[in-house]
Amino acid sequence: VFTVAGARILGVKDLPNSRIFLIDRVLYVPQGDIYTSVAKSPELQNLTRCLQKTGLDTLLKGPGPLTLFAPNDAAFGNLPRRELDQLLNDPGKLRDLLRRHVVGGTFYTAGLSNGMKLKAIGGNDLAIGDEPDCTTVDGVKVNSPDINCNNGVIHMISHML
């Protein structure tokens, strides 16, 4: 599969001195690095605070390329209160959990296929699934895919991995 910033290339038209690529969506200019994009999102405020607390904000501001499966605020709300409190009081455990959501390399959904495995920086394998209406990672639906960033891509999810 060939893509441009996650958009599938549907066709190519050659002209005398140029080439036109037909793609399946509108491309938008990235609004910054992964961390900046997370921090700007009203749905990712818990993640923003946790990234700062664990020092992973520095990694997500770096050159990349990285893919972040970003748990939204609902994902944090889905955790039992006691478990969430324990995580917030233990930056090491919280960092380990969040490292399960970051993959080295840029992986747009157009390039993901059913049964594919991605290695997270936390060392765990993430299993990619392909349902009729969405992509899944470890059985969790990707709600908002392919948020393009200067140093990679974000896929928003509503459960922890």
Separation of CA 7 from chain center: 16
pLDDT at 154 over 90: yes
pLDDT at 7 over 90: no
Tell me what pLDDT residue 133 has.
Answer: 87
Report, as an integer, the average pLDDT of 125-131. 94
Tell me what pLDDT residue 8 has.
Answer: 86
CA distance linking residue 152 with residue 120, whole number of Å: 14
Report, as an integer, the average pLDDT of 61-89. 93
Task: Quote the Cα angle for 29-30-33, to 5°.
Answer: 160
Cis-peptide into 65, omega within 30 deg: yes
Over residues 44-68, the pLDDT tens digits come to 999 999 999 999 999 999 998 999 9
* pLDDT-based confidence at residue 150 (cuts at 50, 70, 90): very high
Query: Which CATH fold topology does 30-157 show?
Result: FAS1 domain (2.30.180)
* Angle between helix 45-54 and 91-99 (nearest 10): 120
Report, as an integer, the average pLDDT of 116-133. 94
Tell me what pLDDT residue 118 has.
Answer: 97
Place of tokens 């904000």: 57
Q: What are the residues facing 140 on neighbouring strands?
A: 137
User: Contact 150/63 with Cβ under 8 angstroms?
Assistant: no
CA distance linking residue 103 with residue 85, whole number of Å: 26
pTM of the model: 0.90
* pLDDT-based confidence at residue 29 (cuts at 50, 70, 90): confident
pLDDT, averaged across the chain = 93
Q: Copy the structure tokens of residue 131.
A: 């349902």
From the number of C-beta atoms within 10 Å of its C-beta (0-12, 13-18, 19+), residue 26 rates as: exposed
Domain residue limits, the chain:
30-157
